[in-house]
A and B are shown apart, each in its own frame.
Chain A
Amino acid sequence: DAGVTQSPTHLIKTRGQQVTLRCSPISGHKSVSWYQQVLGQGPQFIFQYYEKEERGRGNFPDRFSARQFPNYSSELNVNALLLGDSALYLCASSSGTGASYNSPLHFGNGTRLTVT
């Protein structure tokens, strides 16, 4: 079975631009969440979506938005990019409404975003 897939794998943007990152969850998984990982730190929670509805939001500015499609894939959008947005953006999926005992998160390998 395919794992969580993310595209693109790498991306270079300039300040002020907008970016869209894409994620396809594991087949059968209905919950998708997004994390930002800055070099040397652990992943930081951005959003969770389940059945196309936002179920959780981390401490990120409104420049960050996301959505989930009927096939459970998801997009993360970041507007007005800043240098500090340079990071590895990770998508994770899980079955049911979210991670629970015996239903851990499965992460993709991320999109490396560089803002210059």
Chain B
Amino acid sequence: LAKTTQPISMDSYEGQEVNITCSHNNIATNDYITWYQQFPSQGPRFIIQGYKTKVTNEVASLFIPADRKSSTLSLPRVSLSDTAVYYCLVGDMERIRNKLIFGAGTRLAVHP
């Protein structure tokens, strides 16, 4: 499984755009990139998943460069409720099935 590296923590203010970058230098051809969000005392919640280029949904955007060795989760106009831990996961979803490997994640704090 590809190892991921992401910042331990980030700070932002309400209304700003937040970009969290994840490095995954040894990503394999069949690997997808998935991001989860976790609030205190809750289970992780799926945010977005992609393979290449750009993916956008109602919550976030995921930018993946051509070499796929990194990815950036973009949260537009954050609010206090976006304060959470964000996990970047990389893996062949068919091969690993439910055996997701979570790192320590990025702890995002949004300030008024």
Question: Which residues from chain A sit less than 8 Å from chain B, CB to CB?
Answer: 4, 31, 33, 35, 40-45, 48, 55-56, 58, 88, 90-92, 94, 97-110, 112
Instruction: Tell me which residues across on chain B come within 8 A of A92, comparing CB atoms.
Output: 43, 98
The distance from the CB of A41 to the nearest CB of chain B, in whole angstroms, is: 6
Question: Which residues from chain B sit less than 8 Å from chain A, CB to CB?
Answer: 32, 34, 41-46, 49, 51, 87, 93-94, 96-105
**Are A99 and B45 in contact, with the CB atoms below 8 A?**
no
**Are A107 and B94 in contact, with the CB atoms below 8 A?**
no
Alpha-carbon gap, A85 to B92, bound state (A): 30
The distance from the CB of A34 to the nearest CB of chain B, in whole angstroms, is: 9
**Are B97 and A98 in contact, with the CB atoms below 8 A?**
yes
The number of A-B residue pairs with CB atoms under 8 Å apart is 78
Instruction: Tell me which residues across on chain B come within 8 A of A33, comparing CB atoms.
Output: 98-99
A43/B98 contact (C-beta < 8 A), A101-B49, A104-B34, A104-B49 known = no
Instruction: Tell me which residues across on chain B come within 8 A of A45, comparing CB atoms.
Output: 98-101
Alpha-carbon gap, A33 to B42, bound state (A): 16
